[in-house]
Chains A and B, each alone.
Chain A
Amino acid sequence: MSSALPSWLKQIQSWFAPPPSPTPGAALDALPEIVHADLLQQIRSLPIPDRHHQWARQVIWDAVQTWQQDEAAPNHSNSGSSLDSKSGFSSGFNPGSDPGSNSLSQRETPNHLVILSSPVEPIAQVLMEVLQDWQEELSWINPLPWTSRLDDPATVATTVRQTLEEFLSHPLSHAKSSGKKTDDSPSLMVIPDLSQYFMRCIHGWEGIELLRDWIVQDADRFWIIGCNRWTWKFLNYVCQVEAYFEQVESLPLLEGDDLENWLLPLVETLAIRLPKVESDEPPESYWYALASQSLGLSGVAAQIWLQSLRAIDDADSQSDKTYENYGDLTLHQVKPIASSLPNLTAEDRYLLHALLLHGNISRSHLALTLGDSESIVQARVQVLLRSGIIRQQQGRLSVNPAYYPKLKTVLSNNNFMVGED
Chain B
Amino acid sequence: MDLVHFNPLALIHLAQLDYGAELSKKLFTDITAWKLAKAVIMILLAYALLMITQFSINWLSERVPLRSRLTVKQSVPFWKGLILLLLIVYLLNLFLNLSQSNFLALTGTLIVTLGFAFKDYVSSIIAGVVALFEAPYRVGDRVEISGYYGEVTGYGLRGIQLQTADGSTVTIPHSKTWTDPITNANSGSLEAQVVTDFFLNHTVEVDRVLRILYQAAYSSKYTQLSLPTVVVVQEEGWGTRFKLKSYPMDARDEFLYKTDLIRRAKQAFAQQGITYPKDPDFSDV
CB-contacts of B200-248 with A (<8 A) = 212, 215-216, 218-222, 224-226
Let me know if B67 and A413 touch, CB within 8 A: yes
Q: A202-B219, A238-B218, A416-B249 are in contact. Are A371 and B66 (CB under 8 A)?
A: no
CB-contacts of A340-394 with B (<8 A) = 350, 353-354, 369-371
Cα distance, A414 to B221, chains bound together (Å): 13
Tell me if A410 is interfacial: C-beta within 8 Å of chain B.
Answer: yes
List, in ascending order, chain B residues with CB within 8 A of A266's CB: none
Write the chain A residue with the least CB distance to B259.
A371
List, in ascending order, chain A residues with CB within 8 A of B250's CB: 415
Let me know if A410 and B65 touch, CB within 8 A: yes
Tell me if A36 is interfacial: C-beta within 8 Å of chain B.
Answer: no
Tell me if A203 is interfacial: C-beta within 8 Å of chain B.
Answer: yes
Cα distance, A201 to B212, chains bound together (Å): 10
Write the chain A residue with the least CB distance to B265.
A202
Let me know if B66 and A201 touch, CB within 8 A: no
Q: A414-B65, A414-B66, A415-B250 are in contact. Are A203 and B215 (CB under 8 A)?
A: yes
| Distance from A268 Cβ to chain B, minimum over Cβ atoms (Å) | 43
Let me know if A202 and B264 touch, CB within 8 A: yes
Tell me if B157 is interfacial: C-beta within 8 Å of chain A.
Answer: no
Write the chain B residue with the least CB distance to A204.
B219
Count B interface residues, CB 8 Å. Answer: 25
| Distance from A198 Cβ to chain B, minimum over Cβ atoms (Å) | 11
Cα distance, A370 to B268, chains bound together (Å): 16
Cα distance, A238 to B213, chains bound together (Å): 12
List, in ascending order, chain A residues with CB within 8 A of B225's CB: 234, 237-238, 417
Let me know if B221 and A202 touch, CB within 8 A: no
List, in ascending order, chain A residues with CB within 8 A of B260's CB: 371
Tell me if B267 is interfacial: C-beta within 8 Å of chain A.
Answer: yes
Tell me if B263 is interfacial: C-beta within 8 Å of chain A.
Answer: yes
Instruction: Label chain B's interface by main secondary structure.
Output: helix
Cα distance, A200 to B222, chains bound together (Å): 12
Let me know if B226 and A417 touch, CB within 8 A: yes
Let me know if B67 and A201 touch, CB within 8 A: no
Let me know if A350 and B212 touch, CB within 8 A: no
| Distance from A153 Cβ to chain B, minimum over Cβ atoms (Å) | 10
Q: A370-B221, A371-B263 are in contact. Are A415 and B268 (CB under 8 A)?
A: no
Question: Which of B66, B215, B263, B264 contacts A415, CB < 8 Å?
Answer: B66
Tell me if B190 is interfacial: C-beta within 8 Å of chain A.
Answer: yes
Write the chain A residue with the least CB distance to B271.
A154
List, in ascending order, chain B residues with CB within 8 A of A369's CB: 219, 221
Let me know if B66 and A202 touch, CB within 8 A: no
Chain A's interface size range is 20 to 34
Let me know if A413 and B226 touch, CB within 8 A: no
Cα distance, A202 to B68, chains bound together (Å): 32
Cα distance, A340 to B264, chains bound together (Å): 35
List, in ascending order, chain A residues with CB within 8 A of B222's CB: 350
Tell me which of A201, A234, A350 has the highest count of chain B C-beta atoms within 10 A of its own C-beta: A201
Q: A202-B215, A413-B65, A415-B67 are in contact. Are A371 and B190 (CB under 8 A)?
A: no
CB-contacts of A237-259 with B (<8 A) = 237-238
Question: Which of A200, A234, A413 contacts B66, CB < 8 Å?
Answer: A413
Write the chain A residue with the least CB distance to B250.
A415
Tell me which of B66, B67, B268 has the highest count of chain A C-beta atoms within 10 A of its own C-beta: B66
Let me know if A202 and B65 touch, CB within 8 A: no
Cα distance, A371 to B217, chains bound together (Å): 12
Q: A415-B190, A415-B249, A416-B249 are in contact. Are A200 and B67 (CB under 8 A)?
A: no
CB-contacts of B243-285 with A (<8 A) = 249-250, 260, 263-264, 267-268, 271
Cα distance, A414 to B252, chains bound together (Å): 13
CB-contacts of A190-239 with B (<8 A) = 200-204, 234, 237-238
Tell me which of A154, A200, A204 has the highest count of chain B C-beta atoms within 10 A of its own C-beta: A200
Q: Produce 1/0 per residue, B66-81, CB < 8 A to A.
A: 1110000000000000
Q: A414-B66, A414-B67, A416-B249 are in contact. Are A353 and B190 (CB under 8 A)?
A: no
| Distance from A195 Cβ to chain B, minimum over Cβ atoms (Å) | 15
List, in ascending order, chain B residues with CB within 8 A of A410's CB: 65
List, in ascending order, chain A residues with CB within 8 A of B268's CB: 202-203
Cα distance, A414 to B66, chains bound together (Å): 4
Tell me which of B222, B249, B271 has the highest count of chain A C-beta atoms within 10 A of its own C-beta: B249
Write the chain A residue with the least CB distance to B225.
A237
Write the chain B residue with the least CB distance to A233.
B225
Write the chain A residue with the least CB distance to B218.
A238
Write the chain A residue with the least CB distance to B220.
A371
Question: Which of A202, A204, A413, A415 contacts B224, CB < 8 Å?
Answer: A415
Let me know if B226 and A200 touch, CB within 8 A: no
Let me know if A201 and B219 touch, CB within 8 A: yes
Tell me which of B221, B224, B226, B264 has the highest count of chain A C-beta atoms within 10 A of its own C-beta: B221
Let me know if A371 and B221 touch, CB within 8 A: yes
CB-contacts of A143-189 with B (<8 A) = 154
| Distance from A85 Cβ to chain B, minimum over Cβ atoms (Å) | 49
Residues of B within 8 A of A (CB): 65-68, 190-191, 212, 215-216, 218-222, 224-226, 249-250, 260, 263-264, 267-268, 271
A-B contacts, 25 of them at CB < 8 A, read A154-B271, A201-B264, A202-B216, A202-B264, A202-B268, A203-B215, A203-B268, A237-B218, A237-B225, A238-B225, A350-B221, A353-B221, A354-B221, A369-B221, A371-B221, A371-B260, A371-B263, A413-B65, A413-B67, A413-B68, A414-B249, A415-B191, A415-B250, A417-B224, A417-B226
Q: A202-B264, A203-B268, A417-B225 are in contact. List 12 more A-B contacts (CB 8 A).
A: A200-B221, A202-B215, A202-B216, A202-B267, A203-B215, A204-B215, A237-B226, A238-B225, A369-B221, A371-B263, A414-B249, A415-B191
When A and B form their complex, which 5 residue pairs have the shortest distance between CB atoms, in order from nearest? A413-B65, A414-B66, A415-B249, A237-B225, A202-B215
